[in-house]
Amino acid sequence: MGNYVGKSMKRVEDPRFIQGRGRYVANLQMPGMVHVAVKRSPHAHARINAIHTDEAKALPGVVAVYIGQELVDGGAGSLPCGFTPPGIKTPPHYPLAIDKVRHVGDGVAVVVAESAYIANDALDLIEVDYDPLPAVVNAKGAMDEGAPLVHDDVPNNLSFHWPLGDEEAVNTAFAEADHVVELDLINQRLIPNAMEPRACAAQWDSFMETMTVWTTSQNPHTIRLLLGAFTLGIPEHKLRVISPDVGGGFGSKIFHYPEEVIVPWVARAVNRPAKWVSTRSEAFMTDAHGRDHVTHCKLALKSDGTFTGLHVTTYANMGAYLSTFAPLIPTALYITLFSGLYKIPVIFGESYGTMTNTVPVDAYRGAGRPEASYMLERLVDIAALELEMDPLEIRRKNLIPADEFPYQTPVALVYDSGNYQGLLDKIESLSDYKGMRAEQAQARQNGRLVGVGMSSCIEASGPAPSAVAVGLGAAIGLYESGVIRVHPTGKITVLTGSHAHGQGHETTFAQIVADELGVPVEDVEIIHGDTERTPYGVGTYGSRSAAIGGSALVKSAEKIRDKITRIAAHQLEAAVEDMVYDRENGKVHVKGSPDQAKSFGELAFAVTTADNLPEGMEAGLEETSFYDPANFTFPNSAHIAQIEIDRDTGEVKIQKYAAVDDVGNVINPMIVDGQLVGGIAQGVGQALWENGVYDDNGQLLSGTMLDYAMPRADGFPTIATDRIETPSPHNPLGVKGAGEMGTIAGTATIANAVMDALAPLGIKHLDMPLTAEKLYNAIHAANGGGN
């Protein structure tokens, strides 16, 4: 046991945030800086006949105005898609639209001005001559005969079809089933809304021909790679990408966005530093959205509730262009999770990825896994209802037993470890499930609509073994880098390829390194988010940082321990095998003789003076590792909530919420609980309030925070959390990833609770969000128009 790991240490990053010293991109000021604003399409689909910019250019304070073709002529390239399974159609995506606009918010021109106010004034002076075209917005409708084509070279708007599993065996299972549960569902479009809008700034050094780009990214190295290799035409060694403090991402800041090309392109073109800051309205119509599935699913069962087969067909909306990882989400991160926590002998799933005149859809917190869990957990609840079984008991009956790990699912994945029975036992007691049911029975007698809902969910986190990822169609390996640089005085700088945008790595990674080396945590400083300071790395998403980034640091720490142990052995004239590294006190001593010791500081200095090192050993104490995981890790959860629907208003009040999660070993319980509770709030947001809505013409109706219902403080009770810890065998820390489990479970739990409340009215399923209006109307209709 170390001194720090496992303890709720207060975060070292907080003092700057609570005093208003966050280093966000929008805060950057540079001498001579120009401001960039983007002219955006009001049409979902239209041909561009002409763009008139003369009036805008004539406005005092405007430095330049550019259109899409000028960017391409000046070396800007199409934004690439980073996950391309065989047969996929990947239409081009230029930073500004050239011939056609394909969604409301698509950029058509860019203004460069002395102030942001002038830049915005100039946008109004640009006149675009459009020929509006019919639009298509629905994931399934996009494939209809005669639907408008978003891209001429993508027939039927179908980018890809991705099947997985033995469909014939599944069909047999259904033919032989005692009972079949069937469901059509919509997993609605969500708009991520990280509180910090995206921003990008750039500075071109015309003497050195180097470009520095500051961007609100979760993975600056990936952005540099894409800028260097595809979109900007400046080679990587001349490019520096910095993502300083980033105000939340939730997936939406993984991707390579047009403005990351436009701003550096402009900075070079006008030879002045440039900055663009998104407004919230722009964020709604340009940040990649999430979810948006139309699904038909069915579950085969024996009459005793045993699951025997699962068949799922999903139409996944990709939007107008394929965002950086978009095709990965409804395929390898979705269908592979269809087994949940359950033994399901045969499973078949398929996804159709379709192009529509909407904002591109890509990973949003959970990314594919919440969609899988929601689908499965709804089916399981309806099965329980139809077979008149308790939802907890039907789940218990089908759990993968604890002694069957590692467990091979029928959909490619091998689960690492778990204790799903223990999980359900613990949630049953934490939530006082029997008490909730008793309360519900009482309330129902009084005509109240009280519901108890649960979910037991799986997540595959820590993506991913590079060979698996690349084999499936990913363009990059998914390891992570970690450097430990020990200074002559024994103080330590850590460089990580992971990126923190709320996760607290500056604290947790320091806890890991301090324990691995036996040094005070105050002596360890974590550096991230700068391609010139950190080695090439992959970044932070998919709950991967602790499992992969943390493990890279463990490997580097092992190398440091090994080197200084050999120095200690040499200087103490003992055999290396006889040395003990005391990680509690940061000393290396001779076995059985704690006094014959060298401290970490002494050894760090010894490497610097380098006058008394073992034969052949080089000076310097700095180690680099790249950790590539052997497998995903598989966090899992069981949540139970009690809700009440107000009959008169349809409003849902969450009365109680309890969560038990297995995220493996825990580095900092305070931070893990924070991630889980925050994730649950986001998941509940999908179940009850959030909805990205387009009308049939492709107009975004939920385009501001007035129209898009964000979770607010008064929407929640105090959430009770507990956990079980089954360490992952795949990484040296035994961690599983805590970033997304809450979101995955929160949606299914609350949706099931609401449907449980409505069950006495004969309502089996309603699509999310379960808003007051929707529930009021459903209750009203079920009562034959009365209330």
Partner 1 sequence: MKVSLTVNGSAVERDVEPRTLLVHFLRDHLSLTGTNIGCDTSQCGACTVHLNGMAVKSCTTLAVQADGAEVTTIEGLAHNGQLHPMQQAFWDNHGLQCGYCTPGMIMAAVKLVENNPNITDDEIRHGLEGNICRCTGYQNIVKSVKSAAAAMGGD
Q: Where along the sequence are the contacts to partner 1 (CB under 8 A)?
A: 10-11, 13-22, 24, 26-27, 29, 116-117, 193-197, 245-248, 250, 277, 279-281, 501-504, 670-671, 674-675, 677-682, 704-706, 710-714, 716, 718-719, 742
- Taking the complex as a whole, how short is the minimal distance between the CB of residue 350 and partner 1, in angstroms? 33
- Taking the complex as a whole, how short is the minimal distance between the CB of residue 703 and partner 1, in angstroms? 10
CB-based contact 81:90 (threshold 8 Å) = yes
For partner 1, which is the closer residue by CB, 159 or 218?
218
- Taking the complex as a whole, how short is the minimal distance between the CB of residue 715 and partner 1, in angstroms? 8
Secondary element (H or E) of residue 585: none
For partner 1, which is the closer residue by CB, 363 or 486?
363
For partner 1, which is the closer residue by CB, 349 or 504?
504
For partner 1, which is the closer residue by CB, 19 or 445?
19
What is the identity of the amino acid at 415?
A: Y
B/e letters for 409-431, b = 16+ CB within 10 Å, e = fewer, are bbbbbebbbbbbeebbebbbebb
| Angle CA 600–519–633, to nearest 5 | 120
CB-based contact 316:144 (threshold 8 Å) = no
- Taking the complex as a whole, how short is the minimal distance between the CB of residue 664 and partner 1, in angstroms? 20
* Cα–Cα nearest to 159, from 326, 305, 395: 326
For partner 1, which is the closer residue by CB, 30 or 475?
30
Q: In whole angstroms, give the CA distance from residue 427 to residue 14.
A: 32
Report the 10 Å Cβ neighbour count for 617: 13
Report the 10 Å Cβ neighbour count for 303: 9
Query: Token pair of 518, please?
Result: 């036996």
Q: Is 608 exposed, middle or buried (0-12, 13-18, 19+ CB in 10 A)?
A: middle
Q: In whole angstroms, give the CA distance from residue 415 to residue 406.
A: 5
For partner 1, which is the closer residue by CB, 102 or 499?
499
Q: In whole angstroms, give the CA distance from residue 351 to residue 88.
A: 12
For partner 1, which is the closer residue by CB, 75 or 717?
717
Query: Token pair of 356, please?
Result: 């529509």
CB-based contact 499:220 (threshold 8 Å) = yes
3-state secondary structure of 716: coil
Give phi and psi for 44, each to the nearest 5: -75, -30
- Taking the complex as a whole, how short is the minimal distance between the CB of residue 722 and partner 1, in angstroms? 15
- Taking the complex as a whole, how short is the minimal distance between the CB of residue 245 and partner 1, in angstroms? 7
For partner 1, which is the closer residue by CB, 1 or 713?
713
- Taking the complex as a whole, how short is the minimal distance between the CB of residue 511 and partner 1, in angstroms? 14
For partner 1, which is the closer residue by CB, 26 or 427?
26
CB-based contact 411:460 (threshold 8 Å) = no
Which pairing describes strands 62-67 and 107-113: parallel, antiparallel, or unpaired?
Answer: antiparallel
For partner 1, which is the closer residue by CB, 538 or 676?
676
- Taking the complex as a whole, how short is the minimal distance between the CB of residue 107 and partner 1, in angstroms? 18
- Taking the complex as a whole, how short is the minimal distance between the CB of residue 459 and partner 1, in angstroms? 18
551-571 vs 600-609: helix crossing angle, rounded to 10: 80
- Taking the complex as a whole, how short is the minimal distance between the CB of residue 270 and partner 1, in angstroms? 20
Report the 10 Å Cβ neighbour count for 610: 13
